[in-house]
Structure 1
């Protein structure tokens, strides 16, 4: 047993959305903290690459191809993880992002936008967290000790234009994090915790078209974001790693129901 409160040595941590851009940084962080990493996602090729990434750092990993919206699929994944390692100590709900049809352009009629695409964005980001939490989270809760980390967003505190579904869903993540944290603590004790990370603006595949022009320059939207960010730059996914490990580890043992901003000061600044 490590004396380092930040260590995740031999703990089994499940990460959904582990094949995404932020997911890559999360997987790396887990491997560096010596966790055993169960990567859930839909892309078999990237999943295999992530497993190799962990193994190259001297760790253990497995990939399970799943549809995060399918309860039976998540249950199957849970069983495969338990068959391999016999326990689950942590869950990182990293599935999410915006979908193209749910982005309402400045030149579009706000009320003529495709509401079904907005609903899909809400489902992916909110239900994509609730479903695995209720299935994998049960294992954590019934073990008497473990941690769930959700991924919120700066947009839940400071709503961004154009991304309605994403914004609504991330408000839901904040509320769900507080609700589940208090319910689990009262039912299962003070060693079962739920928190969230709220990233600021990081360049990912989902938001690239909003942030970068075809010639590689920053869009006007990005320039406005930077003007509201004291650090005056976009985030690097690797800058989320420390917060993730802190929340998953015993170093944050008395922290639950919280959303931690990692945003270069955007949420704190009034602009003056």
Structure 2
């Protein structure tokens, strides 16, 4: 197999939870262009249809499935729909996540006035939203003895970020879950089942533009802190995750498991001096 062939996802069935989100759009494009058959899981039929059309426009076979990854029965039903359409699952991208407004502590807020229930919801969304689909959809990958699972970590799991307690706790959990699952699956199902995570840096998107930029287009104080802490001296673009994603899903990373790969312009590595 040539090195180019090792990076191919041709005819692999790749499932993307949270495929209707901002990062999901880049993920759909990446796996479709790499030749995969794409299954997009989300909660909005309209957004799912948009992503399915996106994948098809790139020449990929694609389906969409409505499901709530926080509901076990819903994910079991999604699995049956995927297996009925494509017969198997070769890769799973757990892209569900994000923060909850009530779980973010304001600059002028006492941290002990934090809304505990919203913090718990943020933990559940990010951590349980990764564990549940992995335990249900990932079983198909494990039992066939080959495939890859990709989780989404964060800088917050390595460098605690102020104000986002629930998100930080959840992403630490995802790193631990990634290592634990990669070990267990390898020991029980062999050396062709891999579990890794990607830790994105801070990316400027339409969704967070109002938080990271001022009305005149300049960066907000928080965004500027991220830039100052990044050797590249800029924010990222979601498309810059695509190469790492395809690598971790493909045979090019056959001996890579249990790792969290930072795609952050050097933020996690830099001491600031």
Q: Aligning the two structures, in what range does the TM-score lie when normalised by the shorter sequence?
A: over 0.9
Per the alignment, residue 98 of structure 2 pairs with 97
Q: CA RMSD in A?
A: 1.3
Give matches, 1:85-234, under 5 Å. 85-204=86-205, 207-234=208-235
Per the alignment, residue 63 of structure 2 pairs with 62
SS at 1:267's partner residue? Answer: helix
TM-score by length of 1: 0.97
- Deviation string 1:203-231 (CA, Å, 9 cap, x unpaired) is 24664443223444311000111000011
Q: Distance in 2 between matches of 1:87 and 1:226?
A: 42
Q: Distance in 2 between matches of 1:216 and 1:72?
A: 45
Checking the alignment, whether the CA contact within 8 Å between 1:11 and 1:89 is kept in structure 2 is: yes
Q: Distance in 1 between matches of 2:208 and 2:132?
A: 24
1:27 aligns with 2:28: yes
Q: Distance in 2 between matches of 1:214 and 1:151?
A: 30
SS at 2:9's partner residue? Answer: coil
Checking the alignment, whether the CA contact within 8 Å between 2:205 and 2:237 is kept in structure 1 is: no
Per the alignment, residue 263 of structure 1 pairs with 264
Checking the alignment, whether the CA contact within 8 Å between 1:98 and 1:206 is kept in structure 2 is: no
SS at 1:96's partner residue? Answer: coil
Checking the alignment, whether the CA contact within 8 Å between 1:99 and 1:206 is kept in structure 2 is: no
Q: Which deviates further from its counterpart, 210-219 or 253-262? A: 210-219
| Superposed displacement of residue 188, structure 1 | 0.2
Checking the alignment, whether the CA contact within 8 Å between 2:11 and 2:36 is kept in structure 1 is: yes
Q: CA 1:126/1:208 → structure 2, altered by over 3 Å: closer, same or farther?
A: farther
SS at 2:268's partner residue? Answer: coil
Q: Distance in 2 between matches of 1:209 and 1:77?
A: 34
SS at 2:194's partner residue? Answer: strand
Q: Distance in 2 between matches of 1:113 and 1:208?
A: 25
Checking the alignment, whether the CA contact within 8 Å between 2:126 and 2:170 is kept in structure 1 is: yes
SS at 1:8's partner residue? Answer: coil
Q: Distance in 2 between matches of 1:96 and 1:209?
A: 19
Q: Distance in 1 between matches of 2:206 and 2:159?
A: 22
Checking the alignment, whether the CA contact within 8 Å between 1:126 and 1:169 is kept in structure 2 is: yes
What is the count of residue pairs matched by the alignment?
A: 272
TM-score by length of 2: 0.97
SS at 2:6's partner residue? Answer: coil
| Superposed displacement of residue 150, structure 1 | 0.3
Checking the alignment, whether the CA contact within 8 Å between 1:33 and 1:245 is kept in structure 2 is: yes
Unaligned runs of 5+ in 1: none
Q: Distance in 1 between matches of 2:180 and 2:205?
A: 29
